[in-house]
Amino acid sequence: MFAKSTLQMLDTVARQGSFSAAAGVLHKVPSAISYSVRQVERELGVVLFERQARKVVLTPAGEHFLIQVRQWLREMESVRRHTQRVANGWQRSLKVALDNIVKADRISALIHDFYTEFDDAELVISMEVFNGVWDALADGRADIAIGATTAVPVGGDFGARDMGQMDWALVMAPDHPVATMTTLTGEKLAAFPVIGLEDTSRTLAKRNTWLLDNQRRIVVPDWANALTCYKDGLGIGYVPRHLAKPLLASGQLVERYFEGGQNTCECCLAWRKPEQDNALLDWLLVYLGDEAQLNRDWLAE
């Protein structure tokens, strides 16, 4: 097994694409980086990087090895964190994945109430998009997901609770050309970029909010940035109605209706059924409440 510093060095070289750039990040001289890489290659008996004029490129064997390197680094970090938890007297954690569609103003209250209830546990919250929440559940990166949309796309022993329907609004800036069109057709709309989020799924098939044939995308990290882009007139697209409502009310955005656009979707709370009792998960399921409360707290306009 290679030292952690060696694995981090290989990862840095792969990400930076050159020995000199990696040397700058790691505060070493390029010759030291090059020598260390050759040492690893000699020990493995394979060439990891193809040396080109001003850059290095992973070979197929290198790409395979780097996948494992990054997995090792994640596992090392996980072991370090868990060891610290044991030393500090708290060993439990609950991993919660939020779909980016939910209302962010509810998160701080959840954090406050969790830490008030438990003084020996940790809450880990991540934000996912579309099938990313199901991917996180299936991969074990999340114990529970709030705001998961559509049907369960993966096999496994999951529990689920309805959160109600979520509506989408086709929005744009008031001075955007689409805002003044008398009729909307797919051909007309496809001429303008659509603004949206990239599905964060790593293994499951990715989904788009809405995309016409041959339409360019503007991909942003979250709905807050998407709304800014809409206001700046950079494109059009569908936004969860509860997120768009304040901007529609203030006139910063306008809404148009398009037959064949984004349909209303079902949302749910989903969780991995634990193999043994999980007091943290049980508490959260009670805390989040029934369908009406879930819809009011996380989705309602």
Domains 4-86 and 90-165+266-298 agree in fold: no
Query: Can you give the residue ranges of every domain in the chain?
Result: 4-86, 90-165+266-298, 168-263
Q: Do 244 and 171 meet the contact criterion of CB atoms below 8 Å apart?
A: yes
Kindly report the CATH class assigned to 4-86: mainly alpha
Architecture of domain 168-263: 3-Layer(aba) Sandwich (3.40)
What is the distance between the alpha carbons of residues 251 and 234, in angstroms, rounded to a whole number? 17
**pLDDT means over runs of 10, the chain (301 residues):** 89 92 92 93 94 91 93 86 66 88 91 91 92 90 90 73 93 97 94 94 82 93 95 96 95 94 89 86 96 93 71
Query: In the beta sheet, which residues pair with residue 127?
Result: 98
Exposure letters 203-223 (e unless 16+ CB within 10 A, then b): ebeeebbbbbeebeebebeeb
Alpha helices in the chain (DSSP H): 4-16, 19-26, 30-44, 60-88, 107-117, 132-139, 186-189, 223-231, 241-250, 279-288, 291-298
Quickly count: other Cβ atoms within 10 Å of residue 43's Cβ.
10
Q: What is the pLDDT of residue 88?
A: 60
Which superfamily is assigned to 90-165+266-298 in CATH?
A: Periplasmic binding protein-like II (3.40.190.10)
Q: What is the pLDDT of residue 44?
A: 92
Instruction: Compute and round to an integer the Cα radius of gyration of the chain.
Output: 24
Q: How far is CA 111 from the centre of its chain?
A: 19
Q: What is the pLDDT of residue 154?
A: 63
